[in-house]
Amino acid sequence: MTRLFILLAGLVAALFVASLVVGPAQIGVAQSLRALVAGGEGPVTLVMREIRLPRAVLALLIGGSLGLAGAAMQGYLRNPLADPGLIGVSGSAALGAVLAIQTGFAAGFAFGLPLAALAGALAGVLLVLVLAGPGGSSLTLILAGIAISALAAACTALVLNLSPNPFAANEIVFWMMGSLADRSMVHVWIALPLIVLGALMLATLARGLDALTLGEDAAEAMGIGLRRMRLTLIFGTAAVVGASTAVAGAIGFVGLVVPHLLRPFVGAQPGRLLWASALGGAAMLLAADIAVRMILPDRDLKLGVVTALIGAPLFLHLIYRTRREGL
């Protein structure tokens, strides 16, 4: 178990450094790291501190968030096909962002876009809570999430449909593909508190998720408060996924594939899968964001497109393996 932790943490650290030294500005590895740490005047320090550092930090935070939330969601629903977007937060955050772009709020106000997306996420999670209720079964939570996701998607499509401005429509489509390009440290400061808060909430679920392996009845009889777990899960997921979507757009498949991929390595225990999946998600998103910059450096390849391109075949393989092993 500690070996897996060291392996994943090492991978994340290596990819984080790689993410810092890869970019269109051809700067040597030693020079760029020195500029980052030592500072000083000059363009290299500026590139490192204002462009590459926020990008690498955001990839770390958002990848970790999606992996963690995915593992928590799968553990709570006891379903390996659950995804952090299931409760409708990413869809409603996207709707908030789309409205901000369409109305010009995003252009007129410095950080209007991420703030509008956060407002959308908050509205989405409140609606899900009203629909699903604080108690109730996991099925009502899934149904409420699907309803909110569908509604948000329909409203997003409606905005695109009625958009009189082709540039805004274009911007919306590109934003929805998800990207970490051109993000600043302010984006980090917007996302960081929510992601830390949400991650701490989700981390408290470990023991309850383990107990839920035996079913809701057995877990409750062992002193696990299901109602509180459910609220913690919803708010924790909403905080990390809402903040992630707000600054990076919709990035799919990380929260779905990473927990599934790492489950055999933690003995399938949902509690341990939380931290493993957080590290794995960070590694996957850092790697994907490096790939975006390496494969087509001049074409602005979108991060969400790459994670989907990596994730979908991997997912198909996992389905095949699941069928074969009855896992």
Partner 1 sequence: MTLLRLTGFGVTLGKRDILRGIDLKVREGELVGIIGPNGAGKTSLMRAALGLTQRIGQSSVAALSPRARGRAVAWMPQSREIAWPVTVEPLVMLGRTPHLGAGQRPSAADLAAVDRAMQRMDLDAFRGRTATRLSGGEQARVLIARALAQETPLMMADEPIAGLDPAHQLATMQSFADLAQEGHSVIVSLHDLGLAARHCTRLIVLDQGGVAADGPPLEVLTADLVRRVFGIRAYLEMTPDGLVFQPLEVVA
Q: Which residues bind partner 1 (CB under 8 A)?
A: 78, 204, 207, 210-215, 217-218, 220-225, 263, 267-270, 326-327
* Per-residue three-class SS string for the chain: CHHHHHHHHHHHHHHHHHHHHCCCCCCCHHHHHHHHHHCCCCHHHHHHHHHHHHHHHHHHHHHHHHHHHHHHHHHHHCCCCCCHHHHCHHHHHHHHHHHHHHHCHHHHCCCHHHHHHHHHHHHHHHHHHHHHCCCCCHHHHHHHHHHHHHHHHHHHHHHHHHCCCHHHHHHHHHHHCCCCCCCCHHHHHHHHHHHHHHHHHHHCCHHHHHHHCCCHHHHHHCCCCHHHHHHHHHHHHHHHHHHHHHHHCCCCCHHHHHHHHHHHHHCCCHHHHHHHHHHHHHHHHHHHHHHHHHHCCCCCCCHHHHHHHHHHHHHHHHHHHHHHHCC
In the bound state with partner 1, the residue whose beta carbon lies nearer, of 54 and 259, is 259
Beta carbon of residue 261, minimum distance to partner 1 (angstroms, whole number): 15
Instruction: Output 139 or 327, the one with its CB closest to partner 1.
Output: 327
For residues 79 and 170, which CB has a smaller minimum distance to partner 1 in the complex?
79
Retrieve residue 261's tokens. Answer: 């991929």
